[in-house]
Amino acid sequence: MSVTVFLTSLLSGVFGMAGGLILLWVLLLLMPVATAIAVHGLVQMVANGSRAWFSRSYVDRRILAILCAGLLAAVALLLLVDYRPTLVVVSISVGLMPILVWLPVKRLELDASRPWHAFICGIISGGLAIGVGVSGPIIDIFFIRTELDRRTVIATKAAVQFLTHGAKVIFYWDAALTLSSRDWIAVAAAAPIAVLGTGSGNIILHRMTDANFRVWTRWIVTAIGAVYFTRGVLQLV
């Protein structure tokens, strides 16, 4: 698990979300769905929190505040309907998410720097993060049109995802309590490794161009999504 956490945190430090997708996939192989999402939230809180800290001077606090308001609205809705995740729903939903990074976002005119757009982004991304475990591609389509540079995008996304993962842990806390002492030790050991991987990824990020950052993000997330979707379909079969 330690190697997986380091490599996925490294990817997240560079591309913001790819690592989290891979980590959740591994956890779903080892644990029940709700427990996997809770553990994913714990590890990603550390990874995203450290990434936000490393890039804290680039966080757009106004956008972050509005995103958080949307997140709280999503949590309230999921609690109201008493939502429970399943492996098929999670796998197919995450598998379809990469389609979003190929949409003609310029025509959609989505822009996280606009208050209402940021609020809608917070609701949708928060609902998906808690509902299926991840929401990076959704956040991306709201940020890709902004005039923010890659460092501000990564920093602001990391900050809101830190809070979103925290909401996941609280939402699935009962499932997290089913972990054994050995599992908790593994999670605790993974925390500093996640920080190390994130820090290494942050160094690579600052050496990339904005153009390369966007191109590599699309292809990596698409490949991961294909694996998720295939698994979901096989579960149905």
Determine the Cα–Cα distance for residues 134 and 53; give it in Å rounded to an integer: 21
Sign of the Cα torsion 198, 134, 68, 214 reads positive
What pLDDT does residue 227 have?
A: 77
pTM value? 0.76
Q: Which tens digit of pLDDT belongs to each residue from 30-51?
A: 889 999 899 888 888 887 787 7
Position 191 confidence tier, pLDDT thresholds 50, 70, 90: low
Which DSSP symbol is given to 149?
A: -
Which of 70 and 105 is assigned the larger pLDDT? 70
CA distances (Å), origin 165, targets 68, 81, 88, 182, 223 = 12, 20, 21, 22, 23
Higher local confidence (pLDDT), 235 or 45 = 45
What stretches of 31-86 show up as alpha helix (H) in DSSP?
Answer: 33-54, 61-81
On whether the CB atoms of residues 95 and 229 are closer than 8 A, the answer is yes
| Cα gap 233→237, rounded to integer Å | 6
Crossing angle (nearest 10°) for helices 61-81 and 150-171: 30
Res 208 pLDDT > 70? no
- The Cα 161–Cα 49 span in angstroms is 8
What percentage of the chain has pLDDT greater than the value 70? 73
Position 10 scores a pLDDT of 57
Q: What is the pLDDT of residue 202?
A: 61
* φ/ψ of residue 73, rounded to 5: -65, -40
Q: Retrieve residue 122's tokens.
A: 């917070």
Mean pLDDT of the chain: 79
Question: Which of these, 135, 227, 168, 186, lies nearest to 35 by C-alpha position?
Answer: 168
Contact 16, 217 (CB under 8 A): yes
Stretch among 78-87, 205-214, 221-230 having the lowest mean pLDDT? 205-214
Q: Say which amino acid occupies 11.
A: L
Tokens of 18: 């790819």
**Closest alpha carbon to 136 in 10, 12, 31, 26:** 12
Helix (H/G/I), strand (E/B), else coil: 199: helix
The reported pLDDT for the residue numbered 214 is: 66
pLDDT number for residue 234: 81
Q: Find out whether 44 and 167 touch, Cβ atoms under 8 Å.
A: no
The whole-angstrom separation of Cα 37 and Cα 32 is: 9
